[in-house]
Structure 1
């Protein structure tokens, strides 16, 4: 994701500050991050002997008016309607001029990064904000099941449709020939709208929960939110570690997490000059179209490798434990998948938060005049973005290190707690060693990819 240029300087690729802004040398950061994870595992292993999370009664109920406000259908209707209006406005923008068009920024920054921040803060917001879900709910309310929900959503599909949708998104951003062009984003969104609408008509609202890539993405991020609902429907506040254990275990869950983590890692790797030089060298030739096709194939292969490495290493680490029955061993990757969520969210925030803060302002301001006709909707054209994170690079890169290392430490704690619940007593410690080594490697490589380029 390459930011637009500032008036006085060009932002670093991917919205990242370089290693020169680290408060200590990069080598010390890499070694320190790995040791922090190792030491935290040692402390947890010997001081944390019984499961602490995963209880259905965990959490403290908030006052009744909080639940009433959250469930208020008028308030929810207003928010869903506002999201529908914004979607219509972006449809207008999709047919505007390419220069300073708000569609790519809204798509890559406000939707992809902004939704994860909202979901971490307050819960799975896409269920409320999804324009297609809103349209399907209205149609179902008027016409009933004759129009929406002609058949049940097949359980065997699980999250696989969402996994394919998420890969299509990251491929468009990281491997396609023209990711920032308005036409590319427009075509992707038209395909998404058509597939989601048809799927919703056939399988009902369940399609918009389990097959919509943005809904699943929001669900994953919401498992780090301090807010949830108890079985009685009351809003509660609880440790995000308890919310992690509620991550749905579906066919494709591990693949979804591998796509999210692997694609973000590849985004960092693709900024390395060595990779860029390699792609440019291999794509050299006479025809421009051929050059572009080769570059696209190489980027697609690189993206698949990163996603595949995450999936294979996590799957292998989760299954590498003795003393368990074959059925439990088969299910362990899914049962341990929630421990990847803090790592995924931490790395995504470290990688893209600067883009959200700075490019997000540019995208919002561009919404004031999407067709380039001199409009000034809500006086947005009179405002100017503030590049606060670029102006304080040391603070910014320190936050990135904290997000990465903190996410991995939470992941280690979640994996340890799950091991205490799932594994035989004599294998509870040894069964975590492969997962521990895997997470140390993720931490080391994540920090290196984030700053080493």
Structure 2
């Protein structure tokens, strides 16, 4: 029986490696062009991620497996400190300011300089919001409910309050997340401020129309992909707002709670979030550039290659996770279904996505932060020749550290979850085998992407 399971685990590793070796990812000009070039690249020796990647995660699993005291694990994840605070008035002010900021971004995108490095709209969206603000959500806490300008507008407008179809679940948010990335892929949003403003206007129309029909709660809880991204990332953070104030917990402690992912649709969204973080970085590597040139060279349209790779990669990631859930049921010897196991373990993927986002965008944020300040100093006529910070060579090691920290937290969350789900100690340890295989392989892929030099994605 053990030999058979070892073979199945090996098959899982081979499957995951094979699908990732093929055409599974792609991005054309996302955060690209001038912005990507200005941010520079971070180079890390190949031996560093090959020796440390899988080894560190594998060793962390072995060390975690010695922590078998359920009371100790539960005490760590239930530890919290609560501070009472009334923030309703502050929330009203922040939402008002966020609406004004949204309007300002759209206006500046249309009327400001055409150069993306001088336009405050592109700087705020890509550097300030996507690179900087997103990091605060998983490092500190989810402040998006207090800042979401679209929800503020939706709550100020009337609503038809139609019943949201329960059968849709979170699937619209999965489609929406992939669609947003697809738009990012096929259009130079980071290089053309006016196009960015048009996309924001289009997103606003769709969002407000949906909230008008189904109501703000139904729309932003089920359909809006941005709100769901921040809601899940916020579960990684140590701070969370409660009805009475704020709650402080250990990072990732909330990820072991049941019903965080309550169905196949929510599992698919977490996997999609993990996938698009990888997708966002892989296409800046020389391997993708060579592959895209070869495929386009045989007559496949570039406009088809990139979005097709987006879907194929998502399918591969989701298939690999479902396969791990199925093998976990057999290694644990449990009556639980693979779907139930997958729902409980999928939150452990969120620290991986957060760690890779931080590794990928921290240098980007630091490099372009003077450019952001320069653009905001005079939005309609900023100074020419903005200063870009050149990162030192050792900064690549910092990025590797963030990737590893994300994976280490993921291993611990999976370990704590296993002891919440399974009654036997050996059963809990065995249930993690397939997921650790996936994490080890993903660690090596993430580190390789961070270490690879940036190149300009071809053809779009």
1:127 aligns with 2:117: no
- CA 1:197–1:226: 2 relative to 1, 3 Å: same
The whole-number CA distance in structure 1 between the counterparts of 2:173 and 2:341 is: 21
Structure 2 residue corresponding to 1:243, chosen from 240, 251, 254? 254
- Does the aligned pair in 1 maintain the 2:80–2:247 contact within 8 Å? yes
1:446 aligns with 2:446: yes
- Does the aligned pair in 1 maintain the 2:325–2:339 contact within 8 Å? no
Q: 1:19-168 to 2 correspondence within 5 Å?
A: 19=44, 25-50=45-70, 52-53=73-74, 58-62=79-83, 64=84, 67-68=85-86, 71=87, 73-96=88-111, 97-99=113-115, 100-139=118-157, 147-148=158-159, 150-168=161-179
- In structure 1, the partner of 2:25 is none
1:279 aligns with 2:292: yes
Deviations 1:123-163 (A, max 9, x none): 22221111121112223xxxxxxx22512333433322222
User: What TM-score results when the alignment is normalised by the length of structure 2?
Assistant: 0.81
Structure 2 residue corresponding to 1:4, chosen from 34, 40, 43? 34
**RMSD over aligned Cα, in angstroms?**
2.8
Deviations 1:319-342 (A, max 9, x none): 32233335x432221211110010
For the residue of structure 1 that corresponds to 2:34, the secondary structure is coil
- In structure 2, the partner of 1:18 is 43
The whole-number CA distance in structure 1 between the counterparts of 2:81 and 2:160 is: 36
Structure 2 residue corresponding to 1:349, chosen from 334, 358, 369? 358
- In structure 1, the partner of 2:398 is 399
1:258 aligns with 2:276: no
Q: 1:48 Cα deviation (Å)?
A: 3.0
1:417 aligns with 2:416: yes
The whole-number CA distance in structure 1 between the counterparts of 2:78 and 2:290 is: 55
Q: 1:281-320 to 2 correspondence within 5 Å?
A: 281-284=294-297, 294-320=301-327
The whole-number CA distance in structure 2 between the counterparts of 1:30 and 1:297 is: 33
- Does the aligned pair in 1 maintain the 2:252–2:351 contact within 8 Å? no
Shifted more, 101-110 versus 36-45: the winner is: 101-110
- CA 1:355–1:77: 2 relative to 1, 3 Å: same
- CA 1:229–1:363: 2 relative to 1, 3 Å: closer
The whole-number CA distance in structure 2 between the counterparts of 1:353 and 1:86 is: 23
Structure 2 unaligned regions, length at least 5: 1-30, 454-460
The whole-number CA distance in structure 2 between the counterparts of 1:248 and 1:199 is: 24
Structure 2 residue corresponding to 1:335, chosen from 344, 358, 364? 344
Structure 1 residue corresponding to 2:220, chosen from 191, 200, 208? 208
- Does the aligned pair in 2 maintain the 1:53–1:245 contact within 8 Å? no
The whole-number CA distance in structure 1 between the counterparts of 2:246 and 2:172 is: 30
Deviations 1:392-445 (A, max 9, x none): 230x21211111111101101111111111135252222211111110001011
Q: 1:196 Cα deviation (Å)?
A: 1.0
Q: 1:263 Cα deviation (Å)?
A: 2.1
Larger RCO, structure (CA 8 Å, separation 6 or more):
2
User: What TM-score results when the alignment is normalised by the length of structure 1?
Assistant: 0.82
